[in-house]
Amino acid sequence: MTATDVAGNARTVEGSATADTTPPTAVDIQTANGGTTIGKPEEKDSITYTFSEPIDPQSIVAGWNGTATNVVVRMVDNGLLGLPTGNDELFIYNAANTATLPFGGVNMGRGDYVAGLLGGTITFGANGTASTMVMSGNTVTVTLGTYAAVGILVARTTAAGTGAMTWTPVATPYDRAGNVMSTTAAIQSGAARKNF
- Say whether residue 102 binds Ca ion (CB under 5 A): no
- Say whether residue 196 binds Ca ion (CB under 5 A): yes
Identify whether the C-beta of residue 51 lies closer than 8 Å to the C-beta of residue 66: no
Single residue of 104, 105, 109, 111 touching Ca ion by CB under 5 A: 111
Residue 111 DSSP label: S
As measured in angstroms, the least distance from the Cβ of 4 to Ca ion is: 29
- Say whether residue 74 binds Ca ion (CB under 5 A): no
Spatial CA neighbour of 61 closest among 137, 141, 112, 133: 133
CA distance linking residue 57 with residue 24, whole number of Å: 13
User: In one letter, which amino acid is 145?
Assistant: G
**Terminal CA-CA length for the chain:** 52
Contacts to Ca ion from residues 118-157, by CB under 5 A = none
Q: Which stretch binds Ca ion (CB under 5 A): 7-15, 77-85, 135-143, 180-188?
A: 77-85
- Say whether residue 195 binds Ca ion (CB under 5 A): no
- Say whether residue 45 binds Ca ion (CB under 5 A): yes
- Say whether residue 40 binds Ca ion (CB under 5 A): yes
The Cβ of residue 182 has, within 10 Å, a number of other Cβ atoms equal to: 16
Q: Which stretch binds Ca ion (CB under 5 A): 33-41, 92-100, 133-141, 181-189?
A: 33-41
CA distance linking residue 89 with residue 188, whole number of Å: 14
Binding footprint of Ca ion on the chain (CB under 5 A): 20, 22, 33, 35, 40, 42, 45, 77-78, 88, 111, 114, 175, 179, 196
